[in-house]
Chain A
Amino acid sequence: MRARYVAAAGLVLALAVATSTAAARTSAPKRASADKITIWLMDDAQKGWPSVVAAATRAFQVKHPGVEVDVQYQQWTQHLTKLDAALAGGNAPDVTEMGNTETFKYIKAKAFTALNQKAYPNSKTWISGLEESCKSGNRLYCVPYYAGARAVIYRKDFYKKAGIKGTAKTLDAFVADGRKLMKKYGKDKAFSAYYHPGKNWYASMAFVYDYGGAIARFKKGRWVGTLNSPQAMKGLTRLKAMVGQLSRASKTVDEAHPYPSIPMARGKAASFIGSSWEWPYTLDPKVGDPKLAKFLGAYPMPSHIKGRFMPTLLGGSTLAIPTASRNRGLAADWIKAFTATNQQRSLIRISGWVPNTTILVPVLKTNPQAEPFARAAKYSFSVPPAANWASVESSNVLQNMLSSIFTGRASIQKATTSASAQITRILNTR
């Protein structure tokens, strides 16, 4: 009951902000409001599933004939600067795709319109990791789009030749398997049984969470960085030992330079933790080796606790409607068309990503390339849902910490303490 009044007040507030920003614009807007809506999607959709975008637009236009839909594809780098400029200048798009770790800040700044959750398809069964990044104070500010989990991608031929049967079910077994691989192939100085670039924080933080730690916790009304807790440090110690034994990857680059698929395609890596798209990427004729098709497989990274998987970071995207948009109703309808069940089904069939609803997860089970990732999503962790989390990511706190740990420039104690202090400071600013 009370929530309804709060929600109503919130809606009024949002409307007030929206109208005041509209008034702040000094001259009449160019765009006539009911003719055209502008959608900002990342170029992943352009390269991966353009047919889904087209189908959604067609469905939308059946309902709204005569409304032009202008889909403009953005690039992840600098897209927030571009969005900030658009918001500042009053040219905000009607729909914008956001990474799920980027939303908190914008929600807190009241950049997005509050939405009616019930109106969106499958909203009761949304993946909780994505839904969490859209909610603030019980109101919904964006719509889950898709998610990705990470699992171990490996070369069955290397495993077989090293005498490994099946795949590891515990972390100890994983390390033991890795050592067998290093014994067999490690003489090649470029070879890694498990390829782990130093700044790969997704895979590294999994160890922290697996041992019961966390990046930060909300205690007594403020955020506290907790990477120097005993559990977190234990996880990182385990990781450092494992990386020292099994990986020859650079300690100062992230998981994109190069994508581990490349060394794997060249026979220099037996396994790595990656997203589902990195499996077909290893077979890409332009950069990988299509002949490896029958030798690749994937399985969830095992936890140090028997019977569980190491938690995977649920990364994904959401769709939001800026408060500055002048076509919120149309924008909402487009989002509904785009996240409709059949569009989601096409999306995950084409791309192998995890859908925004648990209802469709079984669809992935029929796709052997996507199934292990969907299975791995069972145990997941999210970044701290703090408004300033994006600043922690932009400041590269985690990557720098990991880099100094792996290169040995700082002890784990020192690196984590310093990183935790930074995280505490950043998350509590303002």
Chain B
Amino acid sequence: MSARFPAAAAPAAGTLRPRRRRRARPAVLAGRLAPYALLAPAAAVLGAVLAYPLYVLGRLSFERYGLAEIIQHKGVWVGLDNYTQILHDPQFWHVVVRTLAFTAVAVGSTMVLGTLIALLMGALGNFMRLVLATGLVFVWATPVVVAVTIWQWMVDYEFGVANWTLTKLHVGDFFHHDWFENPWSGFAVIAGVVVWGAIPFVAITLYAGLSQVPRELLEAASSDGANAWRVFRDITFPLMKPIFVILTTLSIIWDFQVFNQVWIMRDARPTEDYYVMSVYSFVESFRVSEYGLGSSIAVVMVLIMFAVAFFYIREMVKIGEAE
């Protein structure tokens, strides 16, 4: 097996690694406690910082906790009222559908474009690859707030470079074109900035994974007459499946919660047809100091995300189970 691709040697070399069974060792008790000891510091930080707030979040979702309650430091128990209120709000369902659709488009585009760019990077010469990678790095490093501001500036009604360029290229008359008048076009811009910001992480990660796929396999396949798509489908993708799963799960979690891109793009005043879940949550609750309602929306969001990503999470947990 080639010395250069040790990681990818795993499947073929699987027979070399003994099936998972810890051999007997001295100090078995220390061994038994070891994992807990290793886990303890991180668990302690997470527990100390998040346990109480998460508990409060859960509890607040069953309370009315507005400004008056904040002043008095005491919430009023209302049982499932918050949840009923949300679920009976017709706008809520529109928002859920809109967010799911947006997430699907954003995650799909990110993964497809990221994969294509990763493949491109694999095919480039060393210098061009470095240039492209550095460019992607710059994009990743730009703070989200700044990135959104630039994009907003680029599609600005009066001064935007997009309108000016499109008009000059005779694509149409984009003078004073308002990109956000129509929510479809507005979301296209928002999806643009989200996907643009997400691509570097995905592309670079996938490229790294790609670089571990044994060259010999790829060359053998293509010399057997398989075209690029089949090579990808039958060799590359299966070997890189774990990475795809990780990246897709992360993308779903992140894109479902998109807030800044929508909020800032609409100048902190989105109209209702721009509400995605986190914006809806913020406007309906936190902005008007209704923290009980806001907490219940957050809980519902987690449940939805969990349901949507369930399959991927199961894959995630299974990864490494065979160890």
Contact = CB atoms under 8 A, between A and B. Distances in A.
Interface string B148-163: 0000000011110000
Contacts of B180: 252-253
Contact of B288 (A110, A390, A403): A390
Given A250-B158, A252-B181, A395-B283, A257 B267 contact: yes
B67 A84 contact: yes
B214 interface: no
Interface string A179-209: 0000000000110000000010000000000
A17 B72 contact: yes
Nearest to A390: B288
A199 B289 contact: no
Contact of A253 (B175, B267, B287, B288): B267
Interface stretch (B2-10, B132-140, B268-276): B268-276
Interface string B263-295: 000011111100000000001001111010000
A256 interface: yes
A263 B176 CA distance: 13
B307 interface: no
Pick the most buried of A84, A251, A254: most chain B CB atoms within 10 A of its CB: A84
Given A105-B67, A399-B269, A24 B288 contact: no
Interface residues of B, number: 29
B73 interface: yes
A251 B181 contact: yes
B288 A190 contact: no
Pick the most buried of B68, B156, B180, B288: most chain A CB atoms within 10 A of its CB: B288
A396 B156 CA distance: 21
The DSSP consensus for interface residues of chain B is loop
A80 interface: yes
B272 A251 contact: no
A157 to B, nearest CB: 21
A256 B267 contact: yes
A263 B159 CA distance: 10
Nearest to B268: A77
A164 B67 CA distance: 53
A190 B289 contact: no
Contacts of B178: 250-252
Interface string B62-81: 00001110111110000000
Contacts of A263: 158
Interface string B167-185: 0000000011010110000
B73 A190 contact: no
Nearest to A395: B283
Contact of B67 (A109, A250, A251): A109
A81 interface: yes
- Interchain residue pairs A-B with the least CB separation, the first 3: A109-B67, A109-B68, A250-B157
19 contacts: A21-B72, A77-B268, A80-B287, A81-B287, A88-B70, A109-B67, A109-B70, A110-B68, A111-B67, A111-B71, A189-B175, A250-B158, A252-B178, A252-B181, A252-B271, A391-B288, A395-B283, A396-B271, A400-B271
Given A257-B156, A407-B181, A430-B66, 15 more contacts: A17-B71, A24-B74, A84-B67, A84-B289, A110-B72, A111-B67, A111-B71, A190-B158, A190-B175, A250-B157, A251-B181, A253-B267, A263-B158, A390-B288, A403-B271
